[in-house]
Structure 1
Amino acid sequence: MKKLWLFMLIILLMLLMPISLLQTQPAHAESTQFINAEENIFLRDAPSPSAKQLSLIENFSKVTVLSKDRQWAYITHNGNKGYIHSKTLTTEKPEKFEPKKPPVITNGLLPKANRNYTYEPSFEGGAKTTYKASINPDIRNSVSLMEEDFIGYTYIENENSFELGVAYSDVFFFSLSYPMKEKSTIYDTDYGIESNTKTEVVVESTSTTLKTKAGTFKNVVVIKYPNGSKLYLAKDYGIIRVKNFEGEITAELVSVN
């Protein structure tokens, strides 16, 4: 009778014990490993996704693995012991991913000379038009896109600005100030015949990847005007797309040769 009572007492104590105290770990030598997950993970007090969260472990952190099976690992990190998914561990130190900072554009937007740039719609907003690019000998750091003799446009770039105007005239469509930093505000100075005003425009991006019929362009500069219209500029190409305030494409580069 006494033995039966003792046996029942042991069974009762086992039933009342916290589940975490009953967890047994397979034999495993301690080792140093690293977290390699999609994001930061939680250390839990039991091998269950619904178990209490003890602490947050930053991705790529070094941890000490006390024991491990296919699903769960029992570890210690910063003085805390608990459980994480085994699949989040690696024995090799992972390279911490550092997102690249958007480039700051200070030059390089002039289109290359001795190329033919075809736009559809064209700068005039009409049918497909091809412009031949050549260095303008009369203006420092400038390239002209000519449709025919004396008809076309001229880009000018210096340490302070990037500009586009009508060739052989004093009319400019834009003069954007350098440097161009993503999410910053810069000025577009209108050098029109009767005005000389500054308009604040937003550099929406300097890291956009944009695909047109002319190819795929990386680190595209996207300039947003107060009315919602946008200008897309690419290194060595100048304008590759223009959108009006309704989001319609009014000019786009479709081929270069």
Structure 2
Amino acid sequence: MKNKSIISLSLTATLAFGTISSIILPSHTAAISNISNVTKNTQTSTYKTASLKSFKLVQSNHSVKIYRKASTKSGVMDSVKNNQGVVVLKKLNNGWSKISLQFSTGYIPSKYLQSAKANAKTPYAMNTNKTYSYYSPGNKGSGFSTLYKAKFKTVFSSDKTLTNFWYLNAEPDPYGRMEYETSKGLFTGYKDVGIAELAIKYPVKLNKTWKGLDGQTLKIVATNKKLKIKAGTFKNVIVVKDSKGKTYSYYAPKVGLIKQTFKGKTFTELSSIK
């Protein structure tokens, strides 16, 4: 694995930080009413999400292998399932696609990849024009900072295979997370893996369930929650929990992930957006 400059936190990888998503897109005025205090000014600038140009969804009734080279005779790096997503770096003329995988590249038959349609309704993805600051209370007393930032990068300077991702400088280890919002839902994943899964299935509906990270069942348990956190007060928040009820993820319209709890304790919480 080359140049592992971004590592994912072992605990975070087990959570749904993005496993991490409908009604008509709210007007500018309606969007502002969903949020108050510190983050209110974030709605006055352009809201933008990651481009879907290179994001492809796997369409297959069986697991699809990812190879080290554009040949089934080469070594297998990983496999993807139906409706999981990958980032294509280049589509080859021989029926293969070169994808971003594990801080490097892999190859997958292009016939299994389908372009994703953009979400045209209420968005729950993060605004790529903004810098998000998060509070991580679990670091308190550990010597590591309790605050970290998330910034969107179109490419990672030291590894060109890492494109269009959120770089989180969390301590003790920074990590990269991809996020793509489609008509089917919000897909997220970690760049050290390179495969994205559904964090929220669209259209948003109370009690809707789907399979998420590692095959666990995720469920929408609230769709219009009002939540007060460090960044301000948010309205119309949707809440997603895992099948064991240990992880709860909170998403605000046109803002994205604002809070996550694990075993009843806050794991991460939005503190500001600039």
TM-score, scaled relative to structure 2:
0.45
TM-score, scaled relative to structure 1:
0.47
Structure with larger RCO (C-alpha < 8 A, sep 6+):
2
